[in-house]
Structure 1
């Protein structure tokens, strides 16, 4: 962590502590009085304007989200900006473990949405969340094959055929851990041609015809459209992933972050997510 990041985090903690203490309240009131007195006769109008402005959601919101959320969260980000003019939602989509490491290392972000409770625990255990994370959707695995399924893959066991080039997510990321759990549930073992760092990278291998199949989320199969064909398998029911979301402790824009989380968990947000293939909690 750089000294600049460390200093910024300390300043934010001090500000938060002041807000929570009586002394902090007094300081804030004093500052408010100074700012309104400068307006002379317009003092009361300035106070009203300041109160209204502070209640308005504005500015940039930075969301760190699992790669499998890319399509649905991009849609929700656009809806959020329309609902709150003057806001901008910036996303960082990647493997959940990589994002968790960035958050705990001090990367500036407002919201973290993970593809597994285990990865979220890395962030909460480091004291980097503000409040308790909540599960907002679930996701299930599916086999992505080449368009039209030319190899006639119909089960998870079919992937153990040594003639097939199969790709899995790395075991350290949620989609890879889920795939391993599904394989164990079926009493199966397979050696992939590669382990990828996130689900989109695994899917891309099939889309580019560099692999015959990949075990990914059904939401990613749906998002890929005709670029791949999806094959459901019963063992996936033993490896369903819960997706938690949380406000981060050092959020630069906590009010806007809370509003974004509220949209994700709202009926409107759930419609977008279920339309993308996610399951409700």
Structure 2
């Protein structure tokens, strides 16, 4: 995957973030499970076109629950979630779609890499004459050109996550939702995949919602960071990551990066202090 600095430029444009069209609108959405456990108190949040928004917070703060509402895998107990201005079943903009990348690569171990990436196109009835070039293009985008005939067990953990990302991109989504996709990887591999993800974000003009426990990852990737507190899950603070220059290794070593990490760390300590006293799982 090309590592061009140009793709990681956060240049000023005529359309500022607050003027961009909403992709997801969460209005007073909360979640209480059947056993009475309240995972989320009412949340108001808007994700806009072209935004890279990251959710971060202590364990049990409802990050995965909130992401579940955004994916429509969970339904709110109260409140409303809209995608492109409408319900999930009838989004207001024809042709708009989303893809999900989970914590695990969730690949079919018996199938080739190409077959794994092609799965959503097969399920959609896309003919092979169309799906094959799309699959190979997606694999090339994530740096896996020539690996299509391999099996998942023949790849490293980082490469398997690249396959998972390729599978999510092959449907050409407008919105990508990612639940700690790089959390189990070593720091070097994670940093490489973070940089490659930014390339894809800029190149594809994606909207991305990303969940992480890493302060450094959140600052490196995000346009905005949503800091959450726990018991019940709620938004504690939203931090803008205003960095108009390139996000690269030089940025990681800059005073600005260090200052933003310190600000986010302080916000997380405050969120932890706000959290309730009864332990819970997300």
TM-score between the two structures when normalised by the length of structure 2: 0.23
Q: Which has the larger radius of gyration?
A: 1
Q: Which structure ranks higher in relative contact order (CA pairs < 8 Å, sequence separation ≥ 6)?
A: 2
Structure with the bigger percentage of helix: 1
